[in-house]
Structure 1
Amino acid sequence: MGRILAIDYGAKRIGIAVTDELQLIASGLTTIPTPEIFDFLTGYLKEEKVSTIVVGEPKQMDNTPSESEALIKPFLEKIVQQFPDVKILRHDERFTSKMAFQTMLDSGLKKKQRRNKALVDEISATIILQSFMERI
């Protein structure tokens, strides 16, 4: 059984979360500048056994794709092409940024720390992963 890796895709940064090898616990891993994602994934997949990559699926309230889906489509095509042995799935990511910010508030982070957009992206990826794990 391999890890599940979750991606919160953004035009500037990508939040990444991962499970343990038993797929029990979702943890934030890092945030990567978007242009560096394939170098990161290549290295990570060489070091760790990953069975599934879950990519956040941004949707509007009426269930239609959000505008950022247009940026994600080419990314998905490339990820499927570069990592054909890894299952690629999508998971609804509505409200994850708001939930991430609330998590930061609830954990007592100072205002300066809450402005760290990279941390918001990493927490968002963790929320996507946790929600995905609860669904399966």
Structure 2
Amino acid sequence: MLPRFLAIDYGTKRLGLAVNDLLGLTAQPLPYLANDSAKLKALRKIIQEKEIKKIILGLPVALSGQEEIAARKARDFAEELRVLNLPLEFYDERLTTAAAHKMMVQCRLPGRNRREKVDSLAACILLEDYLRSQGA
């Protein structure tokens, strides 16, 4: 069995979340969290309930490979996460949000529902990519 990972798709307004199954084959979305003062308390609760052993934080790298403002904000957020006392690994999240949008359009999800789901779906894509890269 694989340890449980929590993938976070960082955004200035919302945090998309996903966890893997114990076999490491799939990722399941969790409801997004508002990126506000209550986020660390909410993350701590999820970590305890889901028995998370590691955080995979999406690092939004530009197509050129350069880290820009969004990547710096994700790195600043990683510093906030240190209080959770879990290993943290950055993972290139290039194009995960675009892929999530495309999937929702293909599934004909109404536009009004997309905003609520796109961040956690992006976190799922991020985590599944991470799991594949680890040979899971």
Q: TM-score, normalised by structure 2?
A: 0.89
Q: Which SS does the other structure have where 1:94 is aligned?
A: coil
Listed one character per residue, the Cα deviations across residues 4-40 of structure 1 (whole Å, up to 9, x for unaligned) are 1100000010000011233221011110001132011
- Show the counterpart of 1:132: 130
Identity of aligned residues (%): 27
5 Å-filtered alignment, 1:77-96, equals 77-80=79-82, 82-84=83-85, 86-96=86-96
Q: Which amino acid aligns with 1:112?
A: R
**Number of matched residues?**
132
Separation of aligned partners in 2, 1:110 and 1:12: 21
For the 8 Å contact 1:100–1:120, the answer to whether it is kept is: yes
5 Å-filtered alignment, 1:80-119, equals 80=82, 82-84=83-85, 86-113=86-113, 116-119=114-117
Q: Which amino acid aligns with 1:124?
A: A
Listed one character per residue, the Cα deviations across residues 108-134 of structure 1 (whole Å, up to 9, x for unaligned) are 212333xx3231111111111111111
Separation of aligned partners in 2, 1:19 and 1:52: 11
Displacement over 4 Å in runs of 4+: none
Separation of aligned partners in 1, 2:95 and 2:29: 17
Q: TM-score, normalised by structure 1?
A: 0.89
Listed one character per residue, the Cα deviations across residues 35-90 of structure 1 (whole Å, up to 9, x for unaligned) are 1320111111222211111000111111111211222222111212x122x22001
Unpaired runs of at least 5, structure 2: none
Unpaired runs of at least 5, structure 1: none
2:22 maps to 1:21: yes
Q: More displaced, 10-19 or 21-30?
A: 21-30
